[in-house]
Amino acid sequence: MDDTPATPPTAATTRKPGAPKSRLGLWIGLGIVGVSAVVLAPLSGPNLRRTLTLFGSPPASTVTVTMSGRTISPEEIRVPRGSAVKVAVSNLDGPRDGHRFKTMGQDFNLDLATWGGQSKSEVMLTSLKPGRYAFICSVRGHASEGMVGVLIVE
């Protein structure tokens, strides 16, 4: 591995020694505004409104998932498209057996880590696009040993 910094030098580090100090604040301010615009742009408009509405309203339904051994039950979960669904995950294994329920391709994916004996729940925002999506246990090796399933968005 090399020691090259991952981020480009900031305005502060590239400023020439003779540059007037008063401008630095202005540039930092403009930088913050620019970065916020880039980060927030994809969330603006109808998408942001939809996300806020879905998170603010009670979930359309609750899905119960159990994880034990190298299985996730049920292996097939059906959810309505474009909705908020509460997913309740229970790990039925011993205290040292962690599992991690992870969905893919949804507007707000879940990645719920549980130790054995633990239950957790969280709201997932389902995709607007109907289709078959995967869910897995993302603990290394568990998916290849059978901890996979299909999330059917209807």
Q: Which residues bind Cu ion (CB under 5 A)?
A: 99, 137, 139, 142, 147
Q: CA 55: distance to chain centroid?
A: 14
Nearest-angstrom CA–CA distance, 92 and 98: 10
Cβ proximity to Cu ion: between 84 and 137 the closer is 137
CB of 67 to Cu ion, least distance (A): 6
Cβ proximity to Cu ion: between 60 and 139 the closer is 139
In whole angstroms, how far apart are CA 74 and each of 12, 63, 66, 70?
54, 10, 7, 13
- Secondary structure (DSSP) of 81-109: TTSEEEEEEEE-S-TT--EEEEE-SSSB-
CB of 91 to Cu ion, least distance (A): 8
CB of 36 to Cu ion, least distance (A): 38
Cβ proximity to Cu ion: between 99 and 133 the closer is 99
